[in-house]
């Protein structure tokens, strides 16, 4: 049932709470909602719940009684902003929950209530100012995660809790302030990695070497590569048999020197890398393109 974009609060959401057979509910755009009512638990058959752009400040403990809930989308609200704290056990009974979208809220830490959602496979936390000082420990409990989006979260280091996420297949950490990626992360199943718009001085070849299933790596809009980085990229390509697309930036002119083993022309170096990738039926895409 779609009740999206109702801009004037009328209390009509309370009349929905008697629909125990309802399986999907969207209340997006109810800008006067504020808080999700405790009576939400009466919708015992609910599988999908979408409440976006509602200025919602907290979640009720009764949400955890929705044992059939599979997907939640609470993006673009005010969760985490006020003293109206969400109970840490509000998802305790949601044992079938596989997808949660919390992007565009006000969390300064990864919310503790997520640790109860141990079956979670997909988590969106983009555009929350979590920062590297924010608590991310509860991510370690989400070992079933296959997709994690932490774009523009104010991170300058990769959280230690990532070491527990051995099932990740899709990871987005674009638009942060990461200057390096640590080695040894459990990326054996990772197929797609977004690192665009960080502060990486080089493609994190050592960290990528253990991600044998990688297909796409996006390192665009980072500081320009240095000449020697191309040798490292060539080396890591050889141990990533499934990699077919790599986004990188042009080599910085300041890294070129007359006695370099490379011709002082970044285009020729890039052409050599492209030739290698083409031979392996892969692509190197550059920002800006040359």
In the prediction, which pLDDT does 126 show? 98
Task: Give the largest Cα separation in the chain, rounded.
Answer: 78
Q: What is the pLDDT of residues 134-179, one digit of tens each?
A: 899 999 999 999 999 999 999 999 999 999 999 999 999 999 999 9
Helix locations, the chain, DSSP H:
205-208, 229-238, 266-279
Average pLDDT estimate for 76-105:
90
User: In Å, how far from its chain's centre is CA 138?
Assistant: 15
What does DSSP assign to residue 242?
Answer: T
For the cut 90, the answer to whether the pLDDT of residue 94 exceeds it is yes
pLDDT at 86 > cutoff 80 = yes
The chain-wide mean pLDDT, for the chain, equals 82
Q: What is the pLDDT of residues 215-272, one digit of tens each?
A: 999 988 888 766 567 667 777 777 888 888 888 765 544 443 333 333 334 556 556 6
Alpha carbon 251 to chain centroid, angstroms: 28
Q: What is the pLDDT of residue 144?
A: 97
From edge to edge, which strands make up the β-sheet containing 24-26? 24-26, 48-50, 71-73, 99-101, 122-124, 147-149, 170-172, 192-194, 216-218, 245-249, 283-287
């Amino acid at each position: 049932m779609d009740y999206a974009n109702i801009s004037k609060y009328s209390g009509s959401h309370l009349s929905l709470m008697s629909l125990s057979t309802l399986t999907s509910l969207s209340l997006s755009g109810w800008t006067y909602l504020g808080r999700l009512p405790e009576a939400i638990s009466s919708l015992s058959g609910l599988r999908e719940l979408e409440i976006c752009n509602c200025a919602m400040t907290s979640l009720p403990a009764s949400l955890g009684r929705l044992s059939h809930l599979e997907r939640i989308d609470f993006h673009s609200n005010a969760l985490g902003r006020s003293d109206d704290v969400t109970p840490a056990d509000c998802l305790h009974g949601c044992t079938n929950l596989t997808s949660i979208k919390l992007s565009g809220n006000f969390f300064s830490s990864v919310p503790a209530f997520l640790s109860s959602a141990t079956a979670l496979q997909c988590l969106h936390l983009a555009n929350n100012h979590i920062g590297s000082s924010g608590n991310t420990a509860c991510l370690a409990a989400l070992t079933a995660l296959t997709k994690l989006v932490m774009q523009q979260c104010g991170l300058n280091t990769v959280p230690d809790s990532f070491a527990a996420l051995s099932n990740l297949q899709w990871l987005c950490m674009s638009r942060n302030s990461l200057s390096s990626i640590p080695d040894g992360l459990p990326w054996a199943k990772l197929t797609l990695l977004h690192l665009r718009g960080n502060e990486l001085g080089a493609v994190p070849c050592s960290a990528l070497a253990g991600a044998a299933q990688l297909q796409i790596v996006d390192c665009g809009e980072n500081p320009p590569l240095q000449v020697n980085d191309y040798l490292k990229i060539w080396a890591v390509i050889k141990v990533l048999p499934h990699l077919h697309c790599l986004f990188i930036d042009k080599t910085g002119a300041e890294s070129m020197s007359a006695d370099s083993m490379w011709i002082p022309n970044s285009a020729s170096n890039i052409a050599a890398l492209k030739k290698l990738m083409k031979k392996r039926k892969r692509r190197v895409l550059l920002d800006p393109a040359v």
